[in-house]
Amino acid sequence: MKVFFRELTLSTKELFDLVDITREVEEAVSESGVSNGMCLVYAPHATAAIVVNEHESGLMKDILRKVQDLFPRGAGWLHDRIDDNAHAHLGSALISSSRIFPVRGRRLVRGTWQNIFLLEMDGPRASRRVVIEVLGE
């Protein structure tokens, strides 16, 4: 079994932001040498998440709006007593910091309208990491 590991470093520009990493993930799969297996995309952060959906500017704003509706900033969260970012921890915990994709024929299996994004909820940040691990044969 092959195990291929890559770490991306990227920056985010807003408090809530979506950064499309589809191309980088697909490049990692293609360079991994794995024909059939799976690809983990993981954000090693407690205040960010990985989401999958269409890269359309209106929808991206809709997603960010919904995330802020679901996890409003400064809504009396207890964690805000020490760190002022409880909303982002809640979003990361409930949306999830990872996604897994099938790999078939040396390609990531995804729908036409399924791009992969880092969801920032405590930005802007100069440095956010995304771990990509491709496993298979």
- Which residues bind to Zn ion, rule: CB under 5 A? 83, 85
Q: How far is the CB of 124 from Zn ion (least distance, A)?
A: 16
Q: Give the residue nearest to Zn ion (CB).
A: 83
Q: Which is nearer to Zn ion, 1 or 82 (CB)?
A: 82
Q: Which is nearer to Zn ion, 13 or 79 (CB)?
A: 79
Alpha-carbon distance 119 to 86, whole Å? 15
Residues 132/40, Cβ–Cβ less than 8 Å? yes
Q: How far is the CB of 85 from Zn ion (least distance, A)?
A: 4
Q: Which is nearer to Zn ion, 12 or 85 (CB)?
A: 85
Q: How far is the CB of 79 from Zn ion (least distance, A)?
A: 6
Q: Which residues contact 5 (CB under 8 A, 6 or more apart)?
A: 131, 132, 133, 134
Q: Which of 96, 70, 92, 88 is nearest to 124 (CA)?
A: 88
